[in-house]
Amino acid sequence: MIPLFVIFISSLFLYISTLSNTVYGGDAGDLVSAVLTKGFAHPPGYPLYTLIGRLFINLPVNSLTAAGKITLISSISTVFSLILVYLILNTLIGKKLSKPIAVVTVLTLSANYLIWLYAIVPEVFPLNVLITLGILLAGLRFKNTGKLKWLALSLFLTGLGISHHHTFVLILPSLFILTYSQIKKKFITSKNIFFLILSLGLGLLPLVYLPVVAQNSPEIIWGEPNTLSGFITIFTRQVYGTFVPGPFISNSPVHRFIQLINLNYFVFADFTLVGYGAIIIGLIALTRSKIIEKKEKISIFLALILFGPFFVFYANFPLSGKFELATVERFMIMFYFLLSVPLYLGLNWFFIKIVSLFKRIFGKRHELFIPIIIVIFFLFPAGLGIKNYRRLINLKNYPVAEKLGRDILNNADKNSIILLYTDTPLFNTQYVYYSSKNDYLDKVVLQITKISSEYYQKAIKRHYKKIIFEKKKDYNIGDFIKNNIKNYNIYSTEKYSFPSSFPYKWVVQGLLFKIVPQDYDNAFEAEKTIETFWNTAENKDLANHYLTNRNYWFNYFPNDILRIYATAHQNTAYYYLSTDQPKLAFPHIKQAIILNPEDLDSFFLQSVFYVKINNCHEAEKSITKALSSSQFKDKFYLDQLEKVANCYQDQKNAYRIKNMIKNIKKSNSTPLEKI
């Protein structure tokens, strides 16, 4: 009991003391908004999570926001998952378990960056880990005892897994290996089968939530689960692709094998050299262990392979930027928990070797040193905790994602519709909107990708009577604007193309674009709106925070917020350059470069600025930086280089630049096979 108490208290304190009381980024805003609106989040809908969220959202804890209360699901799930890890180790190894080393192993997991991060933000993965580990432990207990209650528990948890997150199924082959022989012996009776089916059915009950709430057309809704085809579409994630992040993944075999290398890097980075070494030794020890039975070994190895190498190879996540890295890292959490078995065996191997060394040196007196050796082992999770605390405590104190949501909402006038696209602006704004709706009663937040869906139109018309949807096939954004422009100011995070006959256009306002009549030409009003926004934005000091608080930005998801603001600064700069106001454009170009130096369009804009003020040398430096860093030479970049050539007054420099353009165009025409 003492080890479990130590694990419970230390991990609970760790997570509660660093718990983020706001949305972190990624899917967090969607998950919390689904709870707030009594709807359901993106496929597969997470009905179990949302039902639990409905309980947590009503906790009488005034110090916690809606996001903070939902985050408790992550924290509590992780704490109990750590306890399950200890129980799994105890079940596998039995009386020969070294309790101090087992506690060191579990505390190492608790202080692991990835596990800690997702224990203190709203996410579905910690609950998924708890369910999956529960299935594994129940399977081990059933194998060892043959008691029906453990098999029933594993099936009940399987039902909960189906009601929550599809990736849990990767534990089922291990469950089958652990339980098959016992079931075959004595459990195939009508009474037992009925009891087991009932257990599975009880676990599946949360799925009923989806069709029931869909009848009420909540604002956060992602399909039609009240129809059979709609339910199947959501449940199987047909929009994204089952077990993959989306339809945009690469199918290159080489890229899939590279994912195995990436997995190796993830483990090394998060467990450090000491932990990585212990895991490697532990994997070898697991193959040779005489304490752990053969079926148990196979089940553990199979689970490790399926949740690790197999999953990353199959899912083949694109890793082209920090947002993509943030997307994939969450799927590693279950794999990390399973690594606790080889981690324990590796640490215990080191412990036994060190104790043996002291025994050879000091004889019987070596026992006096064992407590000191144990304390030294505890320094490993302690050091990991100190290292990661600096990276994670900032999430508690700086609500950058929430500020983004408020900036988007405040960027729009009263009586406005705000059309949002992509996860970062959409989910974070939704959270602010639904958690503080009384502050934004004059605004409507809509997800633009659902505008043409009848189920979404029905939900929106139920909540906002003035919004008009035309009954028409191929209903699009242009139709929506025509229907509602007379009653609302309409804003968007994206500029959508319209036919030339369309009597409206987009103008930049800051983070948003606004729809105005084609003949709108009030430069003074436009500039006043833009500058007012940037001077009053809650994230106006974002660049300074990025430069002075790098520990905060070590976390991947918030980095996409930097991209959002960088793009908005680019749009503002482009407006000023196009209206021949380069001095107003320059500060926004510099902000964009600081916030997202990988976006080469900022250097293109910087070159345009320097041409306008006749600083040809700096204009050349800026555009050549963009060209040298881009894999494919953008036509706009080449056109700008042409303008730089024209900027130079002397023929020598102009001729040199034109030769450069000629060489770049020649390299661009190189056949793909030679690249």
Q: Please state the three-class secondary structure of 222-260 as a single string.
A: CCCCCCHHHHHHHHCCCCCCCCCCCCCCCCCHHHHHHHH
pLDDT band of 404, cuts 50, 70, 90:
very high
- What pLDDT band is residue 551 in, cutting at 50, 70 and 90? confident
Question: Which element (helix H / strand E) includes 447?
Answer: strand 443-447
Q: What average pLDDT score do residues 607-619 get? A: 94
CA distances from 286 to 2, 95, 292, 441, 475 (A): 26, 17, 8, 60, 59
Instruction: Name which residue leads in pLDDT, 190 or 606.
Output: 606
Asked if the structure places residue 152 within a domain, the reply is: yes
Residues 512 and 386 in one domain: no
The type of residue at 41 is A
Burial class (CB in 10 A: 0-12, 13-18, 19+), 654: middle
**Do the domain assignments include residue 626?**
no
Cβ partners under 8 Å of residue 526, min gap 6: 507, 508, 575
Q: What is the pLDDT of residue 675?
A: 36
Is the pLDDT at 349 greater than 80, yes or no?
Answer: yes
* 487 belongs to a structural domain: yes
> Is residue 478, in this structure, part of any structural domain at all?
yes
Considering the domain architecture, whether residues 384 and 423 belong to the same structural domain is answered as: no
Q: Which of the listed ranges 185-199, 271-285, 474-488 does the model predict with the highest average pLDDT? A: 271-285
Give the mean pLDDT of 474-495. Answer: 91
Is residue 505 within a helix (H) or strand (E), and if so which, with residue range? strand 504-508
Contacts of 41 (CB under 8 A, 6+ apart): 27, 30, 31, 33, 34, 49, 50, 220, 222
Contact predicate 392/18, CB 8 Å: yes
Q: Calculate mean pLDDT across residues 80-96.
A: 96
- Give a yes or no: residue 353 inside a domain: yes
Q: Are residues 12 and 30 in the same domain?
A: yes
Taking residues 101-118, report their average pLDDT.
97
Residues 410 and 294 in one domain: no
Give the CA angle between residues 51, 53, 56 to the nearest 5°: 125
The C-alpha atoms of residue 241 and residue 239 are separated, in whole angstroms, by: 6
Confidence (pLDDT) at 672:
41
What is the domain range of residue 530? 402-599
Asked whether the predicted pLDDT for residue 671 surpasses 60, the reply is no
Query: Averaged over 370-374, what is the pLDDT?
Result: 92
Provide mean pLDDT across the span 331-345.
97
pLDDT, residue 650, reads: 85
Mean pLDDT (whole number) for 383-410 = 93
Residue 612 lies in a domain: no
Check whether 37 has a pLDDT greater than 70.
yes
Q: Dump pLDDT digits (tens) for 246-270.
A: 555 666 778 888 888 889 999 999 9
Q: Would you give the DSSP letter of residue 12? A: H
Mean pLDDT over residues 21-49, rounded? 94
Q: Which two tokens stand for residue 428?
A: 């974070």
Residue 239 has pLDDT above 90, yes or no: no
Q: For 308, which DSSP code?
A: I
| Domain count along the chain | 2
Span 75-97, average pLDDT: 97
| Higher local confidence (pLDDT), 656 or 104 | 104
Mean pLDDT for the chain overall = 91
Average pLDDT over residues 423-432: 95
- Percent of the chain scored above 70 by pLDDT? 96
Residues 6+ apart with CB under 8 A from 555: 24, 117, 326, 391, 392, 395
On whether both 421 and 376 belong to a single domain, the answer is no
The confidence band for 498, taking pLDDT boundaries of 50, 70 and 90, is: confident
Q: Quote the CA–CA distance of 271 and 268 in Å, as a whole number.
A: 6
pLDDT value for 171 = 97
Residue 344: predicted pLDDT: 97
Same domain flag for 239 and 344: yes
- From CA 473, how far away is CA 501, in angstroms rounded? 20
Q: Which of 370, 394, 418 is the last residue of a domain?
A: 394
Peptide bond into 44 cis (omega under 30): yes
Q: At what angle do helices 400-410 and 559-578 cross, to 10 degrees?
A: 30
pLDDT (tens digit per residue) in 149-184: 999 999 999 999 999 999 999 999 999 999 988 887
Task: For residues 381 and 515, state if they share a domain.
Answer: no
pLDDT at 282 over 60: yes
Q: Looking at the structure, tell me whether residues 527 and 444 fall in a common domain.
A: yes
Q: Which of 599, 615, 634 is the last residue of a domain?
A: 599
Instruction: Please check whether residues 378 and 505 belong to one and the same domain.
Output: no
- Residue 633 — very low, low, confident or very high, per pLDDT cuts 50/70/90? low
pLDDT band at 673 (very low <50, low <70, confident <90, very high): very low
In a domain, 40, yes or no: yes
383 and 409 share a domain? no
Dig out the tokens for 42 from the structure.
């993106």
Exposed/middle/buried for residue 265 (C-beta within 10 Å: 0-12, 13-18, 19+): exposed
Q: Where a domain ends, among 599, 619, 652?
A: 599
Instruction: Please report, as a single letter, which amino acid is at residue 18.
Output: T
627 vs 532, higher pLDDT: 532
Please tell me whether residues 9 and 149 are part of one structural domain.
Answer: yes
- H/E/C letters for each residue in 578-597? HCCCHHHHHHHHHHHHHHCC
Q: 659 pLDDT exceeds 60?
A: yes
Band the pLDDT of 188: cuts 50, 70, 90: confident
Single-letter residue type at 343: L
Same domain (yes/no): 569, 551: yes
Domain-located, residue 672: no
